[in-house]
Chain A
Amino acid sequence: MTASQAKAQFAKWEVSGLLGVLPPNALDRSPIVSQVRARLSLLQLSQAQELAVSLTKQEAQNYEGYFWTAFVELQRGDLYSAVRHSRQAEKLRPVGNAVQKVLGLAYLQLEQNLLFQLKMKEAIELDRADFAPHYCLGRFLQSQNRNHAEAAKHYLLVIERKPDHYEALHYLGLAYEAAGDMAQAKTLYRRALTASEGARSSFSLAYQGLSRVDRLNNLPESALKFARQAVFLEPKLPDNQFELAKVYAALGRLPEAIDAFKLSLALDATQSSAYYQLFSLYRRLGDAKAADQALADFKRVVSCYGKEK
C-alpha cells in the first residue's frame, strides 16, 4: 500500500468509525473539543488545528489540546509533530487509550514498527474492551509481517468486540485463504459483505475475495460476477482490476483480460506481476512485439522495485 493509499484508507476508516481512534464524546473535558470535532467532520483541518493549538495554550495541563493537535497532524501527514504532541499528551495523564492509538499510528507511518506495537499493546491494557488496537495490530501483522495466523487472533478479538466490523471479517477471511481453508474464507467474505451492506458501505474487498476463491476453485463463471461487482464498487483499486483480468484470462477472454491488466497498471504501474501476465497473454495471442514490450516493462519494474511479495 502506498503512503497516499494508506492515508486514504485511514481517512475512510475514520469516517466509518472502524478504526476507532477517537475518544468517545463523553470523555471530552473542554468545550473547545466539540468545536474541534465539528471542524474535523467538515474536513476543515486548518481550523481544527488552530482550535486544538489554542486549547494547549488555554489549558496547558489538559492533554486534549496536545491530543487533538497530534490527531490533525497525523491526518495531514506531519508525522514528527504528531509524535511530539502525542508524547506531550501522554505526560498529562490522558483519559482512555486514544493518545496511545494516535501515537502508535504515527509511529507506524514513520516505520517505527516496534514502537507502534508497544503503543498498541499499551492501548489494549488501558481499555481491554476496545477493538481498535487489535484491528491495527492485525493489519500490521498481516500486511507487513505476512503473519496471517497471529493476525487472525487479533481479528477474532475485534469481531468479539464489534461483530459487524466488516474489514476485520474480510481480513480474517484473507488469513484463512492464505492458510488454504477456502471454505472458511468464503464464509467470512460473505459475512463481511452482509456487514458492509448493513453499513451501506462501498467496501469491495470481500467481493474481490469471493472472486479469487471461486477462480482458484476453477469456477471462473461464478468468479466473474464477484470480480465485476468489486470493480463496480471501487473501480480505482488496482487489485480489483487485476482480479477481474485474472478471471477474464481464466475464461479465455484474452482481449478483455489485457484491457483489465492495462487498467490495473494505469492505477499502479509498479505491479511487476501485471506486466508478466500481459507478457503471457500477448504470447498466447501471438503478438511477439507486445509480448517483448511487456517483458521489458516487467524486467524494468523488477529492477526498480523488486518482485512483489
Chain B
Amino acid sequence: MSKAVAALCFIWVSAISVPLSSYGSPQARTPEEFDLYLEFQQTTDPAARHQIALRFERTFPESALLAHVYESEFEYARSHEQRQSAIAAGEKKLRLVPNDIKALLGLAEILSYGTSDLPILSRAEQYARKALVELKEMQLPREMTRNDCDKIQKSLLSRGHAALGFAVGKRGEIAESIKELETAIAVSPEPVGSQLLFAGKLYRTAKRERDAIEMFRRAAQAGPAEITSLANVELQRRK
C-alpha cells in the first residue's frame, strides 16, 4: 500500500466522528469516583484531560466509568498520531464493553493504518466484522429524531464496510475489498472523500480505469483538501 494511501487512511480515521454511546450507562460506585470523573469530563484542555484520565485509571482501576475515559484516551492518542497508545486504549475499552461499536470501528480503522502485518490486518478485519454484527442490534436514544437515527446508522454501517474493505484490501484481496467499498459508498448518507479515493485506487489496481477515474473525480469533489489534492494527483496519472 502506498504512502499516500497510508496518509489518507489517517485522514479518513480522523475526519469521521459520530457521537455515539452504544453501551448502557456505566455506574460509579462512590461519589468520590464520580467527582474525579466529573473533573475529567469538565476539563477541556486535551493534555490536562489526558493527565486526569491517567490519574482516574490509577485511582479507580475497577471503575466502569473507565469505558468513557478510554474512549477519550483513544481519541487523544489518535489525534497525536500515537497509534500504539490508541490501540491500547481502544482494546482496554473493548475489554470493558466488548460490543462497543465505536471502539470496534475505531480499532478496525487504526489497526490497518501503517501496517501490512497479516495478523494485525486480520484483527482489524475481525473488529470490522463484529462492528457490522453489533450494528444490527444497535438502538439509539428516543430523544434522537428518526432522520438523525437513520443518518447515524448509515454512517456507521458505511464506516464498518469501509474498514473491512480497507483491511482485506491491504491483504491484497482486491475483489472483496471493492465489494465492501462499494457498499460503504452506497450506504453513506454523504460522500466520504477517503472512501471514494480508496475505491478509485482499488479500481485502478483491478484495471478498471474508467471506474477509477469516476471515483477520483468524486473524491476530489468530496474533499477535504488533503483528499482533493491526493485525488487530483491520481487523476493526473490517468492511464
Interface, chain A (partner B; CB < 8 A): 2-4, 80, 83-84, 87, 107, 111-115, 118, 268-270, 300-301, 303-306
CA distance A115 to B38 in the complex (A): 14
Partner of A114, one of B27, B35, B140: B27
Output the nearest chain B residue to A271 by Cβ-Cβ distance: B142
* Chain B residues in 8 Å Cβ range of A112: 25, 27-28, 34
Interface, chain B (partner A; CB < 8 A): 25, 27-31, 34-35, 38, 41-42, 139-146, 149-150, 153
Partner of A270, one of B25, B31, B35, B142: B142
With A80-B38, A304-B149, A305-B149 known to touch, is A113 a contact of B143 (CB < 8 Å)? no
Shortest B35–chain A CB gap in Å is: 6
Output the nearest chain A residue to B25 by Cβ-Cβ distance: A111
Partner of B140, one of A84, A115, A268, A304: A304
**Inter-chain contact A80/B150, CB cutoff 8 Å:** no
Partner of B41, one of A80, A300, A306: A80
* Chain A residues in 8 Å Cβ range of B34: 83, 107, 112, 115
CA distance A107 to B35 in the complex (A): 11
The 4 closest A-B pairs by CB, nearest first: A111-B25, A304-B149, A306-B139, A270-B142
By secondary structure, the B interface counts as loop
Shortest A145–chain B CB gap in Å is: 13
With A112-B25, A114-B29, A303-B153 known to touch, is A87 a contact of B146 (CB < 8 Å)? no
With A305-B139, A306-B139 known to touch, is A114 a contact of B149 (CB < 8 Å)? no
For A111, A118, A305, the residue with the greatest tally of chain B CB atoms inside 10 Å of its CB is A305
* Chain A residues in 8 Å Cβ range of B145: 269
Shortest B233–chain A CB gap in Å is: 41
Partner of A2, one of B140, B143, B150: B143
**Inter-chain contact B146/A300, CB cutoff 8 Å:** yes
**Inter-chain contact B139/A304, CB cutoff 8 Å:** yes
Partner of A304, one of B25, B27, B30, B146: B146
**Inter-chain contact A2/B142, CB cutoff 8 Å:** yes
Shortest B236–chain A CB gap in Å is: 44
Output the nearest chain A residue to B137 by Cβ-Cβ distance: A306
CA distance A3 to B142 in the complex (A): 9
**Inter-chain contact B143/A83, CB cutoff 8 Å:** no
Could you name 7 residue pairs across A and B whose Cβ atoms are closer than 8 Å? A80-B41, A87-B35, A115-B28, A115-B34, A270-B146, A304-B150, A305-B149
CA distance A111 to B31 in the complex (A): 13
Shortest A192–chain B CB gap in Å is: 27
**Inter-chain contact B146/A113, CB cutoff 8 Å:** no
CA distance A268 to B146 in the complex (A): 11
CA distance A177 to B31 in the complex (A): 36
* Chain A residues in 8 Å Cβ range of B153: 303-304
Output the nearest chain B residue to A268 by Cβ-Cβ distance: B142
**Inter-chain contact A305/B38, CB cutoff 8 Å:** no
CA distance A304 to B142 in the complex (A): 8
Shortest B61–chain A CB gap in Å is: 18
**Inter-chain contact B25/A305, CB cutoff 8 Å:** no
Partner of B38, one of A3, A83, A306: A83
Output the nearest chain A residue to B142 by Cβ-Cβ distance: A270
Shortest A122–chain B CB gap in Å is: 10
**Inter-chain contact A87/B139, CB cutoff 8 Å:** no
* Chain B residues in 8 Å Cβ range of A113: 25, 27
With A3-B143, A304-B140, A304-B153 known to touch, is A80 a contact of B42 (CB < 8 Å)? yes
* Chain B residues in 8 Å Cβ range of A83: 34, 38
Shortest B44–chain A CB gap in Å is: 12
**Inter-chain contact B140/A305, CB cutoff 8 Å:** yes
* Chain A residues in 8 Å Cβ range of B150: 300, 304
* Chain B residues in 8 Å Cβ range of A115: 27-28, 30-31, 34
Output the nearest chain B residue to A103 by Cβ-Cβ distance: B31
CA distance A303 to B153 in the complex (A): 9
19 additional A-B pairs beyond A80-B42, A112-B34, A113-B25, beta carbons within 8 Å, are A2-B142, A80-B38, A84-B35, A87-B31, A111-B25, A113-B27, A114-B27, A114-B28, A115-B27, A269-B145, A269-B146, A300-B146, A300-B150, A303-B153, A304-B146, A304-B149, A305-B139, A305-B141, A305-B149
Output the nearest chain A residue to B38 by Cβ-Cβ distance: A80
CA distance A303 to B150 in the complex (A): 9
* Chain B residues in 8 Å Cβ range of A2: 142-143
Output the nearest chain B residue to A107 by Cβ-Cβ distance: B34
Output the nearest chain A residue to B31 by Cβ-Cβ distance: A115
